[in-house]
Amino acid sequence: MDANQLVKVYIKIRDAKEIKKKEMETAIAELDAQLETVEQELLEICKATGQNGGKTDYGSFTRSVKTRYWPSDWDSVYQFIREHDVPQLLERRIHQGNFKEFLEVNPDKLPTGMNVESKYSITVRRA
């Protein structure tokens, strides 16, 4: 096949994939809404009975508390982490864009143990 035909096929496949993805997202959103309704009913049962769960013929359910933390002031959080020497409060990952920009300015400052992978990719746009 020539490049003209390959791009045509690529766009056709990408469009089909996007349609399927949207259909699946819609179906999953509907199922998630149904699950949320059932979860709320089970929470009401726990609240009414004063229990943290129960067993049924089909399985068991447990009520638990999930807590999330997020900063509204990153500068204060960074200062707190430095003051208390608790870097483990942060997740272990590198911000790809910021690190790439840092290396562009400082190409000789790659830290020991840092892995780098670069590979070519293709971007296809419609005519």
Per-residue model confidence as pLDDT tens digits over 50-78: 999 999 999 999 999 999 999 999 999 99
The answer to the question of residue 51 being in a domain is yes
The one-letter amino acid at 89: L
Range of the domain at 55: 3-62
How many Cβ atoms from other residues are within 10 Å of residue 7's Cβ?
16
The answer to the question of residue 14 being in a domain is yes
Token pair listed for 66 = 């999930």
The answer to the question of residue 107 being in a domain is no
Q: Is residue 109 within 8 Å of residue 103, measured between CB atoms?
A: yes
The answer to the question of residue 122 being in a domain is no
Token pair listed for 51 = 């229990």
The answer to the question of residue 42 being in a domain is yes
How are the residues of the chain apportioned to helix, strand and coil, as percentages rounded to the nearest 5?
Answer: 55, 5, 40
pTM as predicted: 0.68
Confidence of residue 126 (pLDDT cuts 50, 70, 90): confident
Q: Is residue 43 within 8 Å of residue 63, measured between CB atoms?
A: yes
Domain count within the chain: 1
Residue where the block lists tokens 């430095």? 82
Q: Is the pLDDT of residue 89 over 90?
A: yes
